[in-house]
A and B are shown apart, each in its own frame.
Chain A
Amino acid sequence: QVQLVESGGGVVQPGGSLRLSCAASGFTFSSYGMHWVRQAPGKGLEWVAFIRYDGSNKYYADSVKGRFTISRDNSKNTLYLQMNSLRAEDTAVYYCAKDEGQWRGVYYFDYWGQGTLVTVSS
C-alpha cells in the first residue's frame, strides 16, 4: 500500500531555514511526480510545489518562489522541500502528495502523507 511519511517539521525563527523530507513506499516512486501542499492552522489547502518524476521540471506557488526548493532522490525514494527565509505566514502543516499520473503530471493528488507541522515564530 502507498505510504508517504513526512519529517523535519518544527519551530523555527523568522528568516530561518528548514528541510522537510517525505519517505515514499508502496509504489514506484521514480515514475511519479510529487507535490507539497500546506494548510495553515484552521485554514484551507494551498498547493506549494511540484516536481516531475525525474526531477527535470519544477513548479512553485508565487508565495514561496525564490525561497523554497523542491527536490527528490529517486535512489532513496525520498522527496524534499528546502525552506529558506521563512516567514510567520509559512506556518502550516506541510503534506507531501503523490500525483496521480505515471510519467506525466496530471496535477491532482491520489495519496497524501500525514503531514508535518512547521511553526515560524520568534
Chain B
Amino acid sequence: DIQMTQSPSSLSASVGDRVTITCRASQGISNYLAWYQQKPGKVPKLLIYAASTLQSGVPSRFSGSGSGTDFTLTISSLQPEDVATYYCQKYNSAPPLTFGGGTKVEIK
C-alpha cells in the first residue's frame, strides 16, 4: 500500500506568515491528492482536491501544488482562524485510502 508522509508534524508561525506543509507519497499518485482542514473539536473540511483545485468557498490564501510523489499545501498569509490540523489523502486508486499523519498549525 502507498504510504503518505507529512512534514512537519507541527509548526508555529506568526499571523501573516507564509506557511508550507509537505506531503510525500511512497509511490507516484499523479495528482490524486486531497487536503483537509480540521479545526480543534470540529469535523474535517475538504480544502483542495486534484492536488491544486480549491474547493468552493475556501479562501484564496490556501493553495496546493505538486504531482507524482511530492505535494505542498501553502497558506499565503496565516490567519488566526487557520489554526487547525491539516491532512493530506491520496485517492489514486480504489480503496484502501490513506491519510497523512497530519500537521498541526499554531499561532506563535
Chain A contacts to B: CB under 8 angstroms: 35, 37, 44-47, 50, 59-62, 95, 100, 105-110, 112-115
Contacts and interface: CB of A to CB of B under 8 A. Distances in A.
Interface in B37-57: 38, 43-46, 49, 55
Nearest to A107: B91
A115 B43 contact: yes
23 contacts: A35-B97, A44-B85, A44-B99, A44-B100, A44-B102, A45-B87, A45-B102, A47-B95, A50-B97, A59-B95, A60-B96, A61-B95, A61-B96, A62-B96, A107-B94, A107-B95, A107-B97, A108-B34, A108-B91, A109-B36, A109-B44, A112-B45, A113-B43
B44 A110 contact: no
Contacts of A106: 91
Contacts of B97: 35, 47, 50, 107
A53 B87 CA distance: 26
B77 interface: no
Question: In the complex, which range does the number of interface residues on chain B fall in?
Answer: 20 to 34
A108 B97 CA distance: 9
A109 B94 contact: no
B43 to A, nearest CB: 5
B97 to A, nearest CB: 4
A117 to B, nearest CB: 13
Contacts of A100: 46, 49
Contacts of A47: 89, 95-99
Contacts of B87: 44-45
B66 interface: no
A112 B49 CA distance: 15
Given A108-B34, A108-B49, A46 B43 contact: no
Nearest to A63: B96
A108 B89 contact: yes
A112 B87 CA distance: 14
A114 B98 CA distance: 21
A59 B96 CA distance: 7
Contacts of A37: 44
Contacts of B95: 47, 50, 59-61, 107
